[in-house]
Amino acid sequence: MKQMNNIYLFAFIQANEKSKKAFLIFLVLFIFILLIFGAIYALIAKHMNKNAKVIDTYMVELCQYKIVNNPDQFFKAVKYYEKRKIHKAIKWPMRILIMMGLFLLIYCLVSKDGTTKKVFSDFFDLFPRFKWQTVKSVNEELKAVGSSARVVGISWMPVSLIPQVYWNKINPKDINLYISCIFYIVLIVLFVKISLDALSYTARIIRGKEKSRTVFEQNLDEYNYFNSNEPYLKPVVNNNVNTQNQVITPQVNEQPNNQINNDMNQVNDSNNNNQF
Amino acid sequence: MSEVFKFFKNATKALFLSPLYLLFFVWFLIRAIALYFYGEYQSFIGMLTRKGYDKKETYIYERRLKLCKEKNTTFDVLKEQNKRANEANE
């Protein structure tokens, strides 16, 4: 292995200046791209980890009061909450997006030809355009001038790392420019908002699935049949109600609670309709 | 040092698996949008039946939780009580 490394090092030293420069430029470029991808990955991972914990705020109480008793019920409850939360989070961004789309559609239909193109492209004229000269474009320019000289190389290869910068003309009096700007800015903001909420939803669903497997795990590590004289009772977690290990014995009510009956029916219905 | 190594390991993973991650991301977006339309439909139905969809107080689990807190007991006990009361009535 060490010998192989030495061979590569030797080959690098033997290479000419141009090859060394090219190699170093590619190395720097690769590290730069890695940094960008790493930063995006880290940001998304941080956002998802932070938001995944939200399920704890409601699921702990549901478990404490034994409203969910097994992994399936746990996961169904998480989906029940999250379906509603994602709808609540993105309903206004989506409504704005739909209304904006409808407005643009009507505007483009009633205005004169070429408006659609202007609405969708004028925003980009605010930014500089970069163009790298390639072997092909330089040769075409030389041919157009009438020169017989040609640059040797593959047609798509850039001849320089520094691009040509040019600006497109904009017309400040054109209302389409402002409509285009508003459309793209709103689109970017809403896209970011919806994307973040979609990632949060996914993170919570994943955490719900993971936790449903571990929350109801039974552990025999701390339990021995012969060492215990009383039933192995977990402390009831509701501090307001029960302070000690306590078995709650059911008391017969005089009247049945219709609300529980209704709730049971509704939950059965909602579980049956659970598509997402 | 391990943090830096982890960062570059994740970055390499993200770089080489980016098409796959992009597919997942598009799937998450499509699912969120589908859930939005499903939610709008459910809200509309809820508006007609006066039940609502995304208001926390109308959640079935929240109502059960409220009931348990009011009665100071767990839900399985409440169910058992209710079952016995039903049987007694019959």
Q: Give pLDDT tens digits for A50-98.
A: 999 999 999 999 999 989 999 999 999 999 999 999 999 999 999 999 9
The whole-number pLDDT of residue A275 equals 35
| Residue B35 shares a structural domain with residue B74 | no
Based on the fold, state whether residues B3 and B20 are members of the same structural domain.
yes
- Beta bridge partners of residue A134, listed in sequence order: A158
pLDDT score for B22: 93
Ranges A7-11, A220-224, B22-26: which has the least confidence:
A7-11
| pLDDT tens column, A218-258 | 888 877 777 766 555 555 544 444 444 444 444 444 455 66
- In which domain, by residue range, is B9 found? 1-52
Q: How confident is the model at residue A134 (pLDDT cuts 50, 70, 90)?
A: confident
DSSP-based three-state secondary structure for B48 = helix
Do B27 and B67 lie in one domain? The reply is no
pLDDT at A239: 47
- Do B43 and B83 sit in the same domain of this protein? no
Which residues of chain B make contact with A236, given a CB cutoff of 8 A? Answer: 74
Enumerate residues 6+ apart whose C-beta is below 8 A from A136. Answer: A155, A156
- Decide which of B72 and A273 is more confident: B72
Count of domains for chain B: 2
At B31, is the pLDDT very low, low, confident or very high (cuts 50, 70, 90)? very high
Q: Are residues B66 and B89 in the same domain?
A: yes
Residues B28 and B42 in one domain: yes
- Quick check: A145 pLDDT over 80? yes
Q: What's the mean pLDDT when you consider all of chain A?
A: 81
Q: Residue A187 pLDDT > 90, yes or no?
A: yes
- Same domain assignment for residues B44 and B63: no
In this prediction, what percent of chain A has a pLDDT beyond 90? Answer: 41
Token duo for residue B76: 């399985």
Q: What is the ipTM of this complex?
A: 0.88
Overall average pLDDT of the A144-157 stretch: 80
CA A216, CA A225: separation in Å to the nearest integer?
A: 20
**Can you point out the beta strands (E) in A108-185?**
129-131, 164-166
Range B23-33 average pLDDT: 96
- What does the alpha-carbon distance between residue A5 and residue A229 come to, in Å, rounded to a whole number? 68
pLDDT for residue A246 = 45
Nearest to B54 by CA among A211, A128, A81, A184: A81
More confident residue, A276 or A54: A54
Cα dihedral B74/B75/B78/B79 (nearest 10): -150
Residue B40 shares a structural domain with residue B62: no
Beta bridge mates, A166: A129
Distance from CA of B64 to the nearest CA of A (A): 7
Give every CB contact of residue A192 below 8 A, 6+ residues apart in sequence.
Answer: none
Q: What is the DSSP letter of A134?
A: B
Of A58, A198, A256, the CB nearest to B82: A256
In this predicted structure, what is the pLDDT of residue A2?
Answer: 59
Contact A34 B86 (CB under 8 A): no
B65 and B46 within one domain: no
Q: B48 with B17, same domain?
A: yes
CA distance A44 to A196: 9
Evaluate if residue A185 carries a pLDDT over 50. yes
Share of chain A above pLDDT 70, in %: 77
Instruction: Tell me, yes or no, if B29 comes closer than 8 A to chain A by beta carbon.
Output: yes
State the pLDDT confidence band at B20, using cuts at 50, 70 and 90. Answer: very high
Q: State how far the Cα of B60 lies from the Cα of B54, in Å rounded to an integer.
A: 11
Contacts 24+ apart (CB under 8 A), A5-12: none
Of B10, B35, B63, the CB nearest to A41: B10
- CB A65, CB B65: distance < 8 Å: yes
Q: What angle do CA A186, A187, A192 make, to 5 degrees?
A: 100
B29 & B67 share domain: no
For residues A247 and A232, what is the distance between their CA atoms, to the nearest angstrom? 11
- What type of residue is B53? Y
Look at residue A161 and tell me whether its pLDDT is greater than 80. no
Stated pTM of the model: 0.75
Virtual torsion, Cα A137, A141, A144, A150, nearest 10 deg: -90
Domain shared by B47 and B28, yes or no = yes
Q: In B, which residues are within 8 Å of A260 by CB distance?
A: 64, 67, 78-79, 82
From CA A160, how far away is CA A156, in angstroms rounded? 12
Among A63, A66, A273, pick the best mutation site for testing chain B contact (most B Cβ within 10 A).
A66
pLDDT at A78: 95
Nearest C-alpha of chain B: how many angstroms from A230?
Answer: 21
Q: Between A1 and A33, name the one with better pLDDT.
A: A33
Q: Which amino acid is at A104?
A: L
What are the chain A neighbours of B60 within 8 Å (beta carbons)? 80, 263, 266-267, 270
Asked if B15 reaches chain A (Cβ–Cβ under 8 Å), the answer is yes
Question: Chain A: residue nearest B27 by CA?
Answer: A198
Distance of alpha carbon A178 from its chain centroid, rounded? 29
What is the pLDDT, as a whole number, of residue A234?
52
More confident residue, A271 or A141: A141
What pLDDT, on the 0 to 100 scale, is given for residue A243?
41
Give yes or no for a contact between B10 and B21, defined as CB atoms under 8 angstroms apart. Answer: no
